[in-house]
Structure 1
Amino acid sequence: MEIVESAPDVLETQLAARLAQLRAEYGWSLDQLARQTGVSRSTLSRLERAEISPTASLLGKLCTAYGRTMSRLLAEVEEAPSPVVRAADQPVWHDEASGFVRRSVSPPHAGLRGEVIEGTLRPGADVPYDAPPVSGLEQHIWVLDGAVEITVNGQVHELAAGDCLRFRLWGGSRFRNLGEQAARYAILVVAP
């Protein structure tokens, strides 16, 4: 399923407005964006009006179309972070449909190329991304708790607590929790 219906919060409303703004900046109609992403025109329209909440997969498709990481897109709708990002101030985004929770530990910041994300996948969670948001994006994924199966550029990697996977992303990716407990990991992203 690509959508989650709920009352939008402030971040979702700002995200919807930013997505509509990006489409206008690119000069694309809803039909053109639908062809570009494989997402229906009606879903895109409802998303831009904040009538639905995007899933991680849906945001991944839009980020790919716009050449942005998910963190960069979310940072564009949030306040600029201070040099110190307190735990209570770290933006957290929930994708209830896929079982994915994303905490932006060190959000994108002007003049910095790296960021740190904490991901949590509930048991059975499966989050596929068709393509990278930015080709050649460097990532380092350090598993903190549990185990996670990560497919990168067609290669499957099974990681346990303490393991680290590092790569440049050129193709699709997939994050799956095949275990019986939540999997928690840190992602260090370095923009090309």
Structure 2
Amino acid sequence: MQDPNEYLVQALKAKRRARGWSLEQTAQETGVSKAMLGQIERGESSPTLATLWKIATGFDVALSEFTDPLIAGAGGELRQAERLRHQPTQDLMLVASLFPYDAAFGFELFELTLPPGYERNSEPHAKGVTEHVIVIRGQMEVLIDGQWQRMREGDAVRFVADRAHGYRNLTQSPAVFHNLIHYPQQRK
């Protein structure tokens, strides 16, 4: 598996060049400083998950386009969360990209692990994005419309993710969940 930071560096440079964007224009589009973008591109800094989401939103692409290469073909490849699980940013949350975004399907599917005491508040995603959260192990809470909803193993919720939302684990054990993020239209 390619190092996540190396993949991020290559993906960011490629997307920026494909758009013909300077670092300054990329900063304007993403809300991430030119200095931080330069550090990421040089491999000098690992962004937070919030910063990575800002970059993806600014490019109007799925998060996994900066964390994992597209899977070739429509199926047949066995994907094992245990082998894919890594820490793609400086956040403590573990991520396994079970199915990176593919325009043919319109979604990406992650297995996410929240360590004990972890809280992540997410800024709104692009208009029309929805998330589907299914708790696989442990307990967690999801922030939807300003209210924290407690979820246990086997619970599932779907919500509009173009509003502020969040995830937290107030327990002493890791919480593991699947997060299917659906995008309403083909990405750029």
TM-score norm. by structure 1 comes to 0.80
Q: Deviations over 1:117-166 (max 9, x none)?
A: 1110101212222221x321122101112222222343432212221111
Note the 1:28-177 alignment, pairs <5 A.
28-75=21-68, 77=69, 80=72, 82-87=75-80, 91-95=84-88, 97-109=90-102, 111-132=104-125, 134-177=126-169
Q: Deviations over 1:86-106 (max 9, x none)?
A: 317863330564320111123
Please, what is the CA RMSD of the aligned residues?
2.5
| Distance verdict in 2 for CA 1:113–1:40, change over 3 Å | closer
Percentage identity across aligned positions? 29
Aligned to 1:84, the other structure's residue is in SS state coil
Number of residues paired by the alignment? 182
Q: Deviations over 1:36-90 (max 9, x none)?
A: 4343322110101122222211111111111122124434x45536533231786
- Comparing 111-120 and 60-69, the one that deviates more: 111-120
Unaligned runs of 5+ in 2: none
The one-letter amino acid paired with 2:109 is: V
Cα distance in 1 for residues equivalent to 2:49 and 2:82? 21
Cα distance in 2 for residues equivalent to 1:29 and 1:13? 20
TM-score norm. by structure 2 comes to 0.81
Maintained 8 Å contact 2:99/2:108: yes
Aligned to 1:39, the other structure's residue is in SS state coil
2:11 is aligned to: 18
The one-letter amino acid paired with 1:160 is: R
| Distance verdict in 2 for CA 1:191–1:90, change over 3 Å | farther
Cα distance in 1 for residues equivalent to 2:92 and 2:151? 18
Aligned to 1:53, the other structure's residue is in SS state coil
The one-letter amino acid paired with 2:172 is: E
How far residue 35 of structure 1 moved from its aligned partner, in angstroms, is: 3.7
The one-letter amino acid paired with 1:80 is: A
Residue of structure 2 aligned with 1:183, choices 175, 179, 184: 175
- Comparing 108-117 and 46-55, the one that deviates more: 108-117
Give every structure 1 segment of 4 or more consecutive aligned residues whose post-TM-superposition deviation is greater than 4 Å: none
